[in-house]
Structure 1
Amino acid sequence: MHPAAPEELSGLVDAYTQTAQAIMDLAYPCSDADFAKPTECPGWTVKDQLSHVVALEAMLIGRPDPEVDVPAYEHVRNDTGRLMERGVELRRERPDAEVVQEMQQVLARRLGQLKDLKDHEPENLDEAEMDSPLGRVPLLRGLTLRICDLWVHEQDIRAALGRPGNLDSAAAAVFTQSVLDALPMIVVKRAGVQPGRVVMVELTGPVVARAGVRVEKDENGEPHGHLMFTGGTDETGPIPVIGKTTSIQMSTDAFTRRAAGRRSTDDLHYSVHGDDQVARRVLDALVVTP
């Protein structure tokens, strides 16, 4: 994949900082009409997106929101969605400028914390943890999850405002890599692709990537997805029989918007070499966000 996703602490903090700053830069010039624009995230406007970012980052600096009742909105489908909706509901009646000001204050403090973390890396990084909306998680995993969330919402805002960008950023690479890492589960568990088949995903850019899953039987005879092109001897195995490989080609934007659950398979622009039905099942199963 190019550009490669950062994996070390310093690179993850830089990616986190860049996408958070991009969200602030998008918010500052917004008019009242801009704040009210609907986004591809169901039920949320541009202002709601900003409120969500503020709520989660405020929690991470030790300033959680007070409890608030969430109405039975159609777009809130589960407990995780209800949890994410609380910070948005709390700020729905607040002036737009007040939410932006709060975001500036919260992110300034949060990014300051991350800079300190980068400058004073924990000695036992593998054992370090951080808070997350769903509890304590390993530090690097937590940073990755937050980068993915921030970047997806940055793209939600950009799409609503008609201001595309940052599709080749480090945060874009982090989210893309997280989806590619999940491909074996998506292909086998969700899409039900049978042993003996190979599914390839080729991204044409701005993040350029090529990933493949070879479906085999494990020692118990159950389907198992083997992620290809990850190094090692005889990595790809024997060349698959003609007609057993399905290759799906699309842009980074199409891939990440589908993986974030923002666009349906019918709304995507993609091409397929191989089995159209297999490709359709994989794309239908591609969503990785709650």
Structure 2
Amino acid sequence: MTLDRAELTTLLGQQWDAIAALVTELPEERWRTPSPLPGWTVFDVVAHVTGTESWLLGEQPPAHDPMRPKTDVRTLPHVRNEVAVLNEIWVDRLRPLPGARLLELFGEVTDRRRRALAELTDEEWSTPTPSPIGQVPYGRFMRVRLFDCWMHELDVADALGVRVEEGGKRGAAAFEEFLVSVPRAVGKFGKAPDGSRVLFELTGPQTRTLRIAVVDGRAGFVQAFDEPPTVQIRLDSGLFARLGGGRTIAGAHLDAIEIAGDEELGNRLVRSLAFTL
């Protein structure tokens, strides 16, 4: 899926609105509901998005409150890299706020981000910039942001026990960014051997047929197989996204995953899908 600049910025704005809608008028105690992300509550997820978009505006995390114990975020078990360190600092510094104030801040920050995106020149939009997937044009980085925020919408919804629309153009654009990393998960983490032909049949809101072949040690998407698939895996796209995001484990959903062909490989693959930071 190729998105032009206007469409992508519109979808990003809609994504921020979707997150805000989930927590508008949320009682304070529910802000502190644990989320599927280790160590983070609903509040922390929204604080993370707020912090990342603030950072993209060129801002630094708020100063540490000297009245609060200082947390060495590098010692937290879910912090495994420098990106996670920065994420955790933003969350930690915003955590003392009431939920209602965080929501106000989230709205202020995302409004400024909308204006900043609208003011970018075409040259700036295409300029290579560091991102979680490496050096890419700024516009591609914004599709990564759409995916990240979409996943965090699911995190908040799952924590609060509510259902959200996972289909539609916004979900499809985010899901396309998610799919880019699936071959790497199959080859590097799932250790699918050379010659493997992996077929994922995704049902639900993001219905897809994904064909991945491993050739000369590299896994990649192909349009068709020359021979029947080595393994065929059928599951809901929402579960697929949550497995890829490390929000759950395949062992908790074996009744919702169908594997045909090489069952040993299939079971290894669904247990090795987590690839997000």
TM-score w.r.t. the length of structure 1 is 0.84
1:70-89 deviation digits (Å, cap 9, x = unpaired) = 43333333333222101110
Which deviates further from its counterpart, 146-155 or 127-136? Answer: 127-136
- The answer as to 2:240 corresponding to 1:255 is yes
Maintained 8 Å contact 1:35/1:96: yes
Q: CA deviation at 1:23?
A: 0.8
Mapping 1:41-120, distance limit 5 Å: 41-66=37-62, 68=64, 70-71=71-72, 72-117=75-120
Question: What does the per-residue CA deviation read over 1:105-138, in whole Å, with 9 as the maximum and x for residues that have no partner?
Answer: 1111112222444xxx61585x424575899741
Residue 227 of structure 2 aligns to a residue whose secondary structure is coil
1:120-269 equivalence runs, <5 A: 122=122, 127-129=126-128, 137-217=136-216, 223-229=217-223, 236-240=224-228, 245-268=230-253, 269=256
Residue 67 of structure 2: aligned partner: none
Measure how far apart 1:160 and its partner are. Answer: 1.0
SS in 1 for 2:233: strand
* Inter-partner Cα distance in structure 2 for 1:168 and 1:275: 31
Number of the residue aligned with 1:25: 21
Question: Could you tell me how far 1:228 is from its partner in structure 2?
Answer: 1.2
Cα distance change on mapping 1:179 and 1:107 into 2, 3 Å:
closer
Residue type of the alignment partner of 1:227: F
Cα RMSD of the aligned pairs, angstroms, is: 2.3
Aligned mates of 1:238, 1:137 — CA distance in 2: 33
The 8 Å contact of residues 147 and 178 in structure 2, kept in 1 or not, is answered as: no
1:39 equivalent in alignment to 2:5: no
Structure 2 unmatched ranges of 5 or more: 65-69
User: 1:225 and 1:75 mapped to 2: Cα distance?
Assistant: 28
Q: CA deviation at 1:158?
A: 0.6
Distance between the aligned counterparts of 2:206 and 2:89, measured in 1? 33
Change (3 A) 1:88 1:193: same
Kindly indicate which of the two structures has a greater share of residues assigned to helix. 2
Q: In the alignment, residue 104 of structure 1 is paired with which amino acid?
A: G
- Maintained 8 Å contact 2:213/2:220: yes
Is the contact made by 2:167 and 2:205 (CA closer than 8 Å) also made in structure 1? Answer: yes
Distance 1:23 1:99, change over 3 A: same
Contact 2:33 2:42 in 1 (8 A): yes
Tell me, yes or no, if structure 1 residue 10 matches structure 2 residue 6. Answer: yes
**Which structure 1 residue ranges, 4+ long, deviate > 6 Å from structure 2?**
133-136
Q: Which amino acid aligns with 1:214?
A: A
Name the CA distance, whole Å, in 2 between partners of 1:201 and 1:67.
Answer: 47
Q: What amino acid maps onto 2:251 in structure 1?
A: D
Evaluate the alpha carbon distance shift between residue 271 and residue 164 of structure 1 in structure 2; reply closer, same or farther with a 3 A threshold.
same
Rounded Cα–Cα distance in structure 2 between residues aligned with 1:93 and 1:259: 31
Residue type of the partner of 2:179?
L
**Shift in CA distance, 246/42, structure 1 to aligned 2, threshold 3 Å:** same
Please say if residues 251 and 271 of structure 2, whose CA atoms lie closer than 8 Å, have aligned partners that are also in contact. no
Identical positions, percent = 28
Distance 1:169 1:271 in 2: 25
Query: 1:216 deviation in Å?
Result: 2.5
Distance 1:204 1:97 in 2: 37
Question: Is this contact kept in 2: 1:179–1:288, CA < 8 A?
Answer: no
Question: What is the count of residue pairs matched by the alignment?
Answer: 268
The amino acid of 2:94's aligned partner reads R
